[in-house]
Structure 1
Amino acid sequence: MSNRPAGHAARSTVRPNSETSGHAPIRTFLYTADGMSIDSVYDPGAVVYETRPDTFQPHPRHLVFVIAHGFTGDVDRPHVRRVAGVLRGYGAVVTFSFRGHGRSGGRSTVGDREVLDLAAAVAHARGFGHARVVTVGFSMGGSVVLRHAALYAGAADAVVSVSAPARWYYRGTAPMRRLHWLVTRPEGRLVGRYGLRTRIHHREWDPVPLSPVAAVPQIAPAPLLIVHGDRDAYFPLDHPRMLAEAAGDHGELWVEPGMGHAEHAAGDALLSRIGAWATAAAG
């Protein structure tokens, strides 16, 4: 499973045109550079239009958030929809299901080729006319937004990584040991498929993808926000601190008191702060 970027190509079964008047969310399948079908939803939010609403062209300064969910999430999960609901107050929102999750095709590579899924979603977002794109990732998705920003220079105007690991193969907490069992053992992958609606690839990484902490220095000059809870049961605070140190002056670290892990632990107030930060940072 190579981490080599294979382009930004994405094809959509729905195109923005006059039929999208009324500003309803648009659900469609995207196609990644390696041919994977990715389920996505575009929500225009409170779009400010330059001309008539039926042209579906947002003001060039109106930003769009592309949300990269955590492992076992998907575009229909309530916690993903809640994140989208808060951020739509600050811009348009694209949500999507990573490969192997929900109605998307293929099997999860747990953060490796998922960078191609995010690249397709970002290209899709720009296809609606948005000049500013902010990627927001949680846990596995948090590692993916870091690698995407490093491998696709200029694709994101700002990056937010929430509850992300700094390094691969971490087994220092009980939840991460359970996750490794889920991913690496045949019986674990059965639990993933039938219990968690997540289809997991049986192959090991070859080559091992660029680690999040190695990716971070390559993100500059795009602004980077790292968010982590001080009660995260998966990744202790040395992970966000490593990321922040690697980011240097172009990164910002928020350690959230009392917060646990990823989307479930990110309250509406925190998401609103992220939305406000992104609006300023991507401007």
Structure 2
Amino acid sequence: MSNQTAWQRVKFKNSAGLNLAGLLYATENKPGPVVIICHGFTGSKEGGGMAQAMGEELGARGYNVLLFDFRGNGESEGLFENLTLSGQIDDLKSAVDWCSAAGMGPVFTLGRSFGGTTVICHAAEDPRVAGVCTWAAPARLVELFTEFAEGPVDDDGDLYALAGEEGIIYLRKSFFDDLAGFDVPVLAGKIAPRPLLVIHGESDEVVPPEDADLIIAGAGAPKKLVKVPGADHQFSRHHRVVWDIYFNWLGNNT
């Protein structure tokens, strides 16, 4: 059971002026290191409770933790259909701005699935990030999302349908156009000499494990790849293994 009383609800604005909703787990040593956790595609900051549970363990280890909803997701302002990777990168930059203004640092970012792609692309351009970890992050973005897309489904040729976990979702053509501008393995190479940890399930049915190989191949040292035997895209029965891998890596880099 998550310790709800320990979490503070926070809000901060992105560059578009939209309010982003967050949950902050702050330690008594608030100026200390902070882990910003980014949810996956169509996800939310709470991660079904698992992100909060992990955040509390991080808090017990002396880390501040910020969970937040990207624009158009969860409790944040904006329309989901206007989602782009560039927009998510901007949201994450705003989260780092907010943590830095609050005196927290160094900053470590952790992203799940599409959130993992986001943290790579953001860290490539933001030197304030001290280390990056991804879980099941896609590297071949256009190929992945066009595989699940149908459309256009409107008269203007601008709206596409994708099958999501909660049914059909809609995205604008700008989402796909924007993806084409990101070479994830190349951007991973810009993170060095800051550490990068890539975690992927060997039985991931959504994002092929080969995407993790591409990210690591593009990255510079120090870098580490861990493939978890039998783990699916959500690490459904392997969350404890993944947490411990991350906690150990984080401890060695703070």
| TM bracket (short chain) | 0.7 to 0.9
The one-letter amino acid of 1:118's match is: L
1:211 aligns with 2:183: yes
* Shift of residue 110, structure 1, vs aligned partner: 4.7
* Shift of residue 249, structure 1, vs aligned partner: 2.3
2:97 paired residue among 96, 119, 123: 123
For the Cα contact (< 8 Å) 1:83–1:263, is it kept in 2? no
Which residue of the partner structure matches residue 224 of structure 2?
252
2:241 paired residue among 269, 276, 283: 269
Cα 1:204–1:138, aligned 2, differ >3 Å: closer, same or farther? Answer: same
For the Cα contact (< 8 Å) 2:25–2:56, is it kept in 1? no
TM-score under structure 1 length normalisation: 0.75
The one-letter amino acid of 1:80's match is: A
Distance (Å, rounded) in 2 between the aligned partners of 1:237 and 1:129 = 37
- Comparing 99-108 and 238-247, the one that deviates more: 99-108
Name the SS for the 2:188 alignment partner: helix
Which residue of the partner structure matches residue 52 of structure 1?
none
1:78 aligns with 2:49: yes
1:141 paired residue among 100, 115, 119: 115
1:243 aligns with 2:215: yes
TM-score under structure 2 length normalisation: 0.83
Cα 1:184–1:274, aligned 2, differ >3 Å: closer, same or farther? Answer: farther
1:39 paired residue among 17, 21, 31: 21
Distance (Å, rounded) in 1 between the aligned partners of 2:6 and 2:109 = 22
- For structure 1, list consecutive stretches of 5 or more residues without a partner in the other structure: 1-22, 50-57
Distance (Å, rounded) in 1 between the aligned partners of 2:57 and 2:96 = 19
* Shift of residue 223, structure 1, vs aligned partner: 0.6
Q: Percent identity, aligned pairs only? A: 25
Which residue of the partner structure matches residue 188 of structure 1?
161
For the Cα contact (< 8 Å) 1:86–1:268, is it kept in 2? no
* Shift of residue 199, structure 1, vs aligned partner: 7.0
Name the SS for the 2:161 alignment partner: helix
Distance (Å, rounded) in 1 between the aligned partners of 2:235 and 2:93 = 21
**Bigger RCO (CA 8 Å, 6+ sep):** 1
* Shift of residue 121, structure 1, vs aligned partner: 1.3
- Comparing 102-111 and 154-163, the one that deviates more: 102-111
CA RMSD of aligned residues (A): 2.7
Distance (Å, rounded) in 1 between the aligned partners of 2:102 and 2:169 = 30
* Shift of residue 212, structure 1, vs aligned partner: 1.5
* Shift of residue 279, structure 1, vs aligned partner: 2.4
1:132 aligns with 2:114: no
